[in-house]
Amino acid sequence: MYEIKVGMSTCGVSAGARQVYETLSTEISDRNMPVVLKETGCIGMCYREVLVEIVDGNNQGYLYGEVTPDRAREILASHLTLGRPISEWVVRGPQATQDDSFFAKQQRIVLRNCGVIDPNSIDEYLALGGYSALGKVLREMTPKEVIDEVTASGLRGRGGAGFPTGVKWNFARQAPGNTKYIICNADEGDPGAFMDRSVLEGDPHSVIEGMIICGYAIGAHQGYVYVRAEYPMAVHRVRQAISQAEERDLLGDHILGSDHGFHIKIKEGAGAFVCGEETALIASVEGRRGTPRLRPPFPAVSGLWGQPTNINNVETFANVPWIIHQGGTKFAAFGTKDSKGTKVFALAGKIVRGGLVEVPMGISINEIIFDICGGIRDGQKFKAVQMGGPSGGCIPASMGDICIDYAEITKTGAIMGSGGMVVMDGSTCMVDIARFFLNFTQNESCGKCIFCRIGTRRMLEILDRITAGEGKEGDIDLLYDLAHKIQTTSLCGLGQTAPNPVLTTIRYFRDEYEAHIHERRCPSHVCAPLLRYFVNAELCTGCALCVRSCPVGAISGEKKEVHSIDTTQCSKCGRCYISCPSGAVVKE
Partner 1 sequence: MGLVRLTINGQEIHADSQKSVLQVVREQRLDEIPTLCYDDRLPPYGACFLCVVEVTGRRGLVPACSTKVEEGMQVRTQSEKIVEARRTCLQLILSDHYADCLGPCRQNCPAGVDIQGYISLTRLGKFQEAIRLIKEANPLPSVCGRVCVRKCELACRRQRVDEPVAIDYLKRYLADLDLMDMYVPETKRKNGHKVAVVGGGPAGLSCAYYLACEGCAVTLLDAMPKLGGMLRYGIPEYRMPKAILDREIENILGMGIEVRTEKYLGRDFTIEGLTRDGFEAVFLALGAWRSQNMRVKGEEAKGVVGGIDFLRGLQLESPPSFRGRVVVVGGGNTAIDAARTSLRLGADEVTVLYRRTISEMPAHPMEIQAAEEEGVNFIFLSAPVAVVTENGRATGLECIRMSLGEPDSSGRRKPEPVLGSEYFLHCDSIIAAIGQEPDLAGLRAGFGSLASPETQKGDRLVVQPSTLSTSIPGVFAGGDVVTGPATVIEAIAHGHRGALAILRYLLLDPALPRHEDFNSQRDIFGELPDSLFEEIPREPRNPMPEIPLAERRKKFQEVELGYSDRAAAAESNRCLECGCNYLYDCRLRQYATQYHVTKPPYLGAVNRFNIDDRHPFIVLNPNKCIQCGRCVRTCAEILDVAALGFLHRGFRTVVKPAMDKPLLSTNCIACGNCIAACPTGAITEKLPYPRQGPWPMDQQPSLCTYCSIGCNLNLRYFDRDLFTISPGESPVPNNGYLCFRGRFGHFYLRDNERLMSPLVRKNGKLREASWDEAMDRVAAGLTDVIHRHGPGATAIFASPKLSNEELYLLKRLALSVLKTVNLSSFSHFLIPRDLNALDGSLGITTSTNPLCDLETADVIFVLNADPLTENPVAGFLMKRRAKNGARLLVASSVDLEFNRHAYLWLDSRKRTNTMLLLGIMRQIVDAGRVNRDFVRSRTEGFDEFCRQLDQVSPGQVSGVTGVSREKIVKAAELISDPRLNVMAVYNIDSLDEQGTHDLKAVANLLLLTGKLGRAGNGLILLREHCNAQGLLDMGIGNCTFPGYEPCSREAAARYEKRWRADLSHLFTHVNADLRVRMEGRDIKACLILGENPLKERRNSRYLDGVEFLVVQDLYLTETACRADVVLPASLITESTGTFTNCERRIQRFNRVFPARSGLENWQMICQIAERFNAVFPYSSPEDVFREMAELSPFWVTTDPPFASSGGACWNLGTRADGEDFLFAKGFPLPGGKARFQTIETELSVPEYNLASYCVTDEKLRLFREKNLMRAGE
Residue 287 or 379: the one with the smaller Cβ distance to partner 1 is 287
Q: How far is the CB of 299 from partner 1 (least distance, A)?
A: 15
Residue 94 or 447: the one with the smaller Cβ distance to partner 1 is 447
Q: How far is the CB of 386 from partner 1 (least distance, A)?
A: 21
Question: 3-class DSSP state for residue 287?
Answer: coil
Q: How far is the CB of 389 from partner 1 (least distance, A)?
A: 17
Q: How far is the CB of 259 from partner 1 (least distance, A)?
A: 28
Residue 410 or 487: the one with the smaller Cβ distance to partner 1 is 487
> Are 352 and 376 in contact, with CB atoms under 8 Å apart?
yes
Rounded CA gap, 17 and 401, in Å? 37
User: How are beta strands 222-228 and 263-269 bridged, if at all?
Assistant: parallel
Angstrom CA distances, 534 to 490, 550, 580, stand at 47, 13, 12
Residue type, 166: G
Those residues whose C-beta lies under 8 Å from the C-beta of residue 527, and which sit 6 or more positions away, are 429, 431, 432, 467, 468, 469, 516
Residue 212 or 482: the one with the smaller Cβ distance to partner 1 is 482
Residue 431 or 531: the one with the smaller Cβ distance to partner 1 is 431
Q: Concatenated DSSP letters for 142-166? A: -HHHHHHHHHHHT-B-TTTT--BHH
Residue 291 or 497: the one with the smaller Cβ distance to partner 1 is 291
Those residues whose C-beta lies under 8 Å from the C-beta of residue 29, and which sit 6 or more positions away, are none
> Are 342 and 415 in contact, with CB atoms under 8 Å apart?
no
Alpha helices (H) in 76-111, listed in sequence order: 100-104
Q: How far is the CB of 462 from partner 1 (least distance, A)?
A: 8
Q: How far is the CB of 548 from partner 1 (least distance, A)?
A: 39
Q: How far is the CB of 311 from partner 1 (least distance, A)?
A: 20
Strands of 428-545 (E only): list them. Answer: 533-535
Residue 176 or 296: the one with the smaller Cβ distance to partner 1 is 296
Report the run of H or E that residue 345 belongs to, with start and end.
strand 342-349
Q: 50: which DSSP letter?
A: S
The contact set with partner 1 (CB under 8 A) reads 272, 274, 289, 291, 293-294, 296, 442-451, 453-458, 461, 481-482, 485, 487-491
Closest listed residue to residue 266, CA positions, set 309, 236, 304? 236
Residue 194 or 273: the one with the smaller Cβ distance to partner 1 is 273
Q: How far is the CB of 390 from partner 1 (least distance, A)?
A: 13
Rounded CA gap, 353 and 374, in Å? 6
Q: How far is the CB of 433 from partner 1 (least distance, A)?
A: 20
Residue 60 or 443: the one with the smaller Cβ distance to partner 1 is 443
* 544 burial type by CB count under 10 A (0-12 exposed, 13-18 middle, 19+ buried): middle
